Structure formats: structure tokens, C-alpha cells
Amino acid sequence: MSNLLPFVVVGLASGALYGLAGTGLVLTYKTSGVFNFAHGAVASAGAYAFYELRTQRGLPWPVAAALCLVVVGPAMGLGLERLGRALADASSAMRVVATVGLMLAIQGGLQMLYGTTTRTFDPFLPTTTFRLFGVVIGWDQVLVVVVALAATAGLAWFFRKSPLGMAMRAVVDDRDLLELSGTSSVLVSQAAWAIGSTFAVATGVLIAPSLGLDAILLTLLVVQAFGAAAVGAFSSLARTFAGGLVIGVLAAITQRYVGDVPTLIGVPASLPFIVLFVALLIQRTPHVSERLQVARDNLTIGVSRSSTTLVGAVLAGVAVIALPSLVGPRLPIYTQGVVFVLVFLSLGLLVRTSGQVSLCHAGFVAVGAAAFAHLTSGAGLPWLIALVAAGCVTVPIGALVAIPAIRLSGVHLALATFGFGILLQRLAYPSAAMFGTFGFRSASRPALPGLDLTTDARFYAVAVIVVALCTTAIVVLRRGRLGRLLLAMSDSPAGLEATGVSVNTARVLVFCAAAFFAGIAGALFSAATGSADQNSYDAFASLLWLAVLAISGRGPLRSAVVAALLLTVVPSYIEGDVAQLQLVVFGSAAIWAAVASARTDASQRRLDSALSRAREGGPRSPFGARRNDPGWRSPLTDRAPERVHAAAGR
């Protein structure tokens, strides 16, 4: 036991920081309803600001820290509040898209400014140590815990007792009512966002010395606060902080045992995501029927396919056939583009058709790629059979992810799938069953007797044919019964259930189908690049893909093609290293797309509610009305419904 104590101390220090970040996250989520996926990015921006002020500009650290906490944190908070307000009328899927976009943009921006290599971040707290019960404890660790605890306790007190804190809780309950009572709800939520961001900044500044300055690592570390927030059921500040401590300590203790069991190497770092996934699953978060649509395809079922789409299809066909002779050495890039059409189609099946936000699509693709490499190079199956089998192997993974989808919707499903994607990457990617310790496996292109299909031009043709077949299958699915059920489910799960459909079956099916096609895409991609490489399927790629899909317009097919071109082909025409620029551009565009969708939604809704208000009928009770009983209508509009109609503009 005594040799565990040092790990507990380390765990408490890091856990306190998770708790600190988590409470900031919960505060903003509670008051605005917008779950900030960019919370970790805000923290890393804070750490970079501190680094800039202190190391680059030479300010003393207390001044730099004060500037970060008093200026940088609140300033970012105000910006976020503006974004949150713009998203107030957005669907929950679009809210996810917006904050995911922000996270990508901040990450990309920081990497563009400061480079992708980790910079050392000199410690600023005293690193001297003392002994307690035989355990060496750093003063910096003590300070971190004290600061985090004090900040959280202060916030909890503030939330309960102070007038502004009460106003924040009032914003949660009823924004309009608060406005009526004379308090500006904007001011209140600005305060909440300012506090939440400052907490994130503080976490970033405090966590950076032990980690170094790395935008991705910092973001990821603070993302662990999602697990803490899940323990707090996204509402309790105290439980969130406790959750952070538990996660920190558990991770540190497992670290102690990993040395003995090498297969558990990924467990300590994955623990927060295990907690996130499990907490989401076991908590009672009822399937509220939120409005849950990504800018949805104006799909018209069974209605004429217009001549423009026919022309478009012919043009696209000509382009696809002419491409090899036009693009020369870039052809492999276009092959990848073709494969990504399938990736985006399968993602669209989930996100657009069924309205379920999934953030682990890269995991599906990775499983397909790894399975394909095993089946061709390892088991020596014929190429085509291995391709289909790779898709089939991915199906159970899709079914596994569908389990949270049965219980969760909206942002909670997004979080659960995000956690699952990271778990898959940390725990499964390095295992022998997937990419193995080297992180990649070779994957071959098809070779028929007497027909070599391995050249770039011929493999391009193979990819086009496979993707075209899969696209046809997806279109048939969408136009068939399943497509109708999924579209109906995304509009109203309760309504669909009332017709006799067991919506859970539909939920599981769409995840299985999406996983199948994503698995095939993964197999094709690995064959295109010659190897299944785990770096191609980073869990964060799922976020980027969602952002790209969200900015690619409407229309299930066209958006997939546009998204694939944006992600793979367009960057190849830009000189230099574009990875960071891509993050910034796609991230910003995703934010913009989400805000734009909120605007159209809001104007539509205002019109609807104006119409329905004007249409309220008169009382038809023979008994008069109970006072203040909204069930009985006020006796104003009884006599002239026609006139009411006219007033409503219908």
C-alpha cells in the first residue's frame, strides 16, 4: 500500500486539474446549453498565452499569470458567449459541429504560430519538495491542489449564494423569465462563460509545466475533464471535481501496475475516457426528443429525379473516366479522394440521415484497414473477399457503438462516441489484433491472374468501381424502407415508435451499415497507400471529418463528393505544409456553417410560432374557465376564426 502513496499524490495533483477544468466546462454547459468541445483548446490557448507573455516577452510569471486569468480567459469567454448565443437556435448536432470546429481552429492556429514541436515550459511554481508519511511531495503539487480546490469551492459557493450565481441558475431554468424580472440574461451568461474559460486557462497554465507546450497534448489532457463532467452528470460542480480527483488517482495507480503488464500500456491514459463512456452509459440521461438535425438534405422520396441531377451524374461520370489522363502523377491523391467519398457517405448515413452525431468514424475506418491487412497479407484471402470481409469485421464494432446510441442522443451521444474513438485508438490500435507494435501493416492491391491491377491507373479504376457499387447500395438503402425510417427517426423518434417501429433496431442497423461501408473504405484506403497505418486514422480525424462534412452543403451524394475533394484533393494543390491551415480553415468554416444554420432555423421557428399563436382557437367550455388554466382558452378569438386566419397570413 505504502508504495502506492506516491502515485496517489501524483494522481491528486493531476485529478485536481481535471476537476478544475471540468467545473468550468459544466458551468458553461449548464448556463448556455452549449457543450464546449473546445474547452481543452481554450486551456491550451491559455497556456500558450502564458508562455508568450512570460518566456517570449520576459514578463515576471505572476504578471503573466494575472494577465492570463484577468484578460485572456475572460476575453475568450466573451467570445465564446457570443458564439453560444449565435448557436442558441441551432440543432444539437450543429452545436457539436461548431465547438468541434472551434477546437480544430484553435489547435491549428496555435500550431501555425508556434510550430508543431513540443516546447519546454519552465516550471514557475516552487519545485522544492517535502516528506509526509514517507512520501515525497512537491510544493507545486500542493499548490495546484489548493488552487483548484479553492477555485471550485469558491465557484460552488458563488453559484449558490451570490446574486449573480443565482441569476446564472435562473438562466438555466428560464432565460425569458429572468429577462422579465429585469436582469440581463446576456450579462449573466457572459459572466458564466468568462468564469468557465478562466478556469480552463488556469488549468492550461498549471498543467503545462508537467507536460510541455504541445497544442494537441494539452487539448487532449483537458479533454479528460469530459470524463469528470460526466461523473458530475454535467450538472453538479462538486461531483465533477470529485470525478476529476477519482480519474486522476485511478489513472496514476494503474500507471503503477502497467510496468508489470505491458499489454495494459494504454490503460492509464485511456482511463478518463473509460470513465466518460461508462458514466454516460449508466447514468439516467433520458432520450429527450431534441431537435437533432444537421442541415438536412432536402430529400424527396420517390419524387422525380430531376434532369439536373442526371446531367450532374453524367458530367461526374465523364470527369471520373477522364481523370487519369488529366491529373498525371496526382492520380493517387484522387484515388484517396474517391475512397473518402465512401467515408463521407457512410458518415452521412449516420449524421445526416439518422441525425445521430458520431465522433468515432476514424475508428471504423481503422478497423476495416487493419482487418483487410490481416486478411490479405496475413490470411492470404483473395483480394475482393478480404475487402468485403473487412467491412463485415467492422460491423460488430458499429453494433458496439450503437449501445450508447440506444440510451443517448445529441451531445451525449457525440461525447460517448468521441470517448469510444479515443479508447479504440489507445487500447486497440497498438494491439496485435489491429496495427501491432509497429503501428502499420502492409496491404496489397489486387492482382488477378493475367491482369495486373496494382498500377496507379488500374487501381484508381478498381477504387472507382468499388466505391460506385457501395454508393449504389447506400442510395438503395436510403431510398428504401430503412432510409424512410431513419429520416423519420431523426425528425421524431417518439412519432416513429408510435407507429410500431422498434427504434432501437433502426439505431443499431444504421450504425452497423455505416460501420460496414466505413470498413470497406478503410480497406480500400490501406490498399491505395500500400499499408494500413494507424496514424492515418487518428481519433481526432473523426472530428475533422465531421467539420468537413458539415461545410460541404446539402444533398447526400454531392456533399460527400465535395467533402472528399476538400479533405484530400484540394490541399494537394497548395504549396507547403497545409495540415495546420486545413484545421484552421475547416474549423472556422464549420463554425460559420453552424451559426448560419441556426439563423435559418430561428427565422423559420419564429414564423411557425407566430402562426400557431395566431391560430389559437376560442373557448368551448360550457362551464367557463378555471382561472390561470392554460388548458382552457381565453375567450377572445372565438367568434371569427376566419379573421384569425387572415391575420395569420393563411
Q: Is the dihedral of CA 239, 403, 590, 543 positive or negative?
A: positive
Please, what is the minimum distance in Å from the beta carbon of residue 622 to other proteins?
6
Which run of H or of E encompasses 469?
Answer: helix 456-479
Restricting to residues 627-646, which ones interact with other proteins according to CB under 8 A?
A: 627, 629-632, 638, 641, 644-645
440, β-bridge pairs: 533
Please, what is the minimum distance in Å from the beta carbon of residue 616 to other proteins?
7
In the chain, what is the greatest distance between 2 CA atoms, to the nearest angstrom?
90
**Residue 286 within binding range of other proteins, rule CB under 8 A:** no
The crossing angle, in degrees rounded to 10, of helices 539-550 and 579-615 is: 50
Residue 541 cell numbers, joined: 480525424
**Residue 94 within binding range of other proteins, rule CB under 8 A:** no
Q: Which residue number, 141 or 490, has a Cβ lying nearer to other proteins? A: 490
Q: Which residue number, 178 or 345, has a Cβ lying nearer to other proteins? A: 345
Please, what is the minimum distance in Å from the beta carbon of residue 80 to other proteins?
30
Residues 561-600 as x/- pattern, contact with other proteins by CB under 8 A = ----------------------------------------
Please, what is the minimum distance in Å from the beta carbon of residue 303 to other proteins?
7
Collapsing DSSP to helix, strand or coil, 538 comes out as coil
Please, what is the minimum distance in Å from the beta carbon of residue 513 to other proteins?
9
Restricting to residues 198-217, which ones interact with other proteins according to CB under 8 A?
A: none
Which of 25, 485, 590, 594 is in the footprint of other proteins by CB under 8 A? Answer: 485
Report the distance separating Cα 523 and Cα 371, nearest Å: 8
Report the distance separating Cα 274 and Cα 265, nearest Å: 14
Residue partners of 285: CB distance under 8 A and separation at least 6: 233, 407, 408, 412
Cβ atoms < 10 Å from Cβ of 289: 13
Q: Which residue number, 58 or 631, has a Cβ lying nearer to other proteins? A: 631
Report the distance separating Cα 250 and Cα 77, nearest Å: 31
CA geometry: angle 426, 6, 248, nearest 5 deg: 40
Which run of H or of E encompasses 137?
Answer: strand 135-138
Report the distance separating Cα 176 and Cα 184, nearest Å: 10
Contact region for other proteins (CB under 8 A) — 193-201, 413-421, 489-497, 524-532? 489-497
216: region left, alpha or beta (phi > 0 left; psi from -120 to 50 alpha): alpha
Contact region for other proteins (CB under 8 A) — 147-155, 161-169, 474-482, 531-539? 474-482
Cβ atoms < 10 Å from Cβ of 522: 32
The position carrying cell 484545421 is 583
Contact region for other proteins (CB under 8 A) — 329-337, 380-388, 426-434, 485-493? 485-493
Please, what is the minimum distance in Å from the beta carbon of residue 490 to other proteins?
8
CA distances (Å), origin 245, targets 10, 168, 532, 572: 11, 26, 38, 45
**Residue 304 within binding range of other proteins, rule CB under 8 A:** no
Report the distance separating Cα 421 and Cα 366, nearest Å: 10
Q: What number of chain residues touch other proteins (CB under 8 A)?
A: 60
**Residue 491 within binding range of other proteins, rule CB under 8 A:** yes
**Residue 647 within binding range of other proteins, rule CB under 8 A:** no
Please, what is the minimum distance in Å from the beta carbon of residue 460 to other proteins?
31
Which of 494, 579, 636, 646 is in the footprint of other proteins by CB under 8 A? Answer: 494
Contact region for other proteins (CB under 8 A) — 37-45, 240-248, 294-302, 447-455? 294-302
**Residue 488 within binding range of other proteins, rule CB under 8 A:** yes
**Residue 289 within binding range of other proteins, rule CB under 8 A:** yes
**Residue 127 within binding range of other proteins, rule CB under 8 A:** no
Q: 164 near 191, Cβ under 8 Å? A: yes
Residue 608 cell numbers, joined: 411557425
Q: Which residue number, 129 or 504, has a Cβ lying nearer to other proteins? A: 504
Please, what is the minimum distance in Å from the beta carbon of residue 518 to other proteins?
18
Q: Which residue number, 395 or 564, has a Cβ lying nearer to other proteins? A: 395
* Per-residue buried b or exposed e for 230-269, using 16+ beta carbons within 10 Å of the residue's own CB: bbbbbebbebbbbbbbbbbbbbbbbbbeeeeeeeebbbbb
**Residue 487 within binding range of other proteins, rule CB under 8 A:** yes
**Residue 625 within binding range of other proteins, rule CB under 8 A:** yes
Cβ atoms < 10 Å from Cβ of 184: 11
Q: Which residue number, 127 or 604, has a Cβ lying nearer to other proteins? A: 604
Cα–chain center distance at 543: 5
Report the distance separating Cα 210 and Cα 222, nearest Å: 13
Q: Which residue number, 188 or 485, has a Cβ lying nearer to other proteins? A: 485
Please, what is the minimum distance in Å from the beta carbon of residue 304 to other proteins?
11
Restricting to residues 498-537, which ones interact with other proteins according to CB under 8 A?
A: 498-506, 508-509
The position carrying cell 484471402 is 381
CA geometry: angle 576, 530, 514, nearest 5 deg: 90
**Residue 555 within binding range of other proteins, rule CB under 8 A:** no
Please, what is the minimum distance in Å from the beta carbon of residue 641 to other proteins?
4
Q: Which residue number, 82 or 558, has a Cβ lying nearer to other proteins? A: 558
Please, what is the minimum distance in Å from the beta carbon of residue 632 to other proteins?
6
Residue 494 cell numbers, joined: 417518439
Which of 63, 301, 322, 610 is in the footprint of other proteins by CB under 8 A? Answer: 301
Report the distance separating Cα 97 and Cα 587, nearest Å: 9
Residues 595-624 as x/- pattern, contact with other proteins by CB under 8 A = ---------x---x--xx--xxxx-xxxxx
Please, what is the minimum distance in Å from the beta carbon of residue 300 to other proteins?
7
Which of 45, 213, 496, 590 is in the footprint of other proteins by CB under 8 A? Answer: 496
Q: Are strands 447-448 and 451-452 parallel, antiparallel or unpaired?
A: antiparallel
Report the distance separating Cα 528 and Cα 383, nearest Å: 13
Q: Which residue number, 150 or 648, has a Cβ lying nearer to other proteins? A: 648
Q: Which residue number, 503 or 590, has a Cβ lying nearer to other proteins? A: 503
Instruction: Catalog residues that contact other proteins under the rule CB under 8 A.
Output: 289, 293, 296, 298-303, 477, 480-482, 484-485, 487-488, 491-492, 494-506, 508-509, 604, 608, 611-612, 615-618, 620-627, 629-632, 638, 641, 644-645, 648, 650
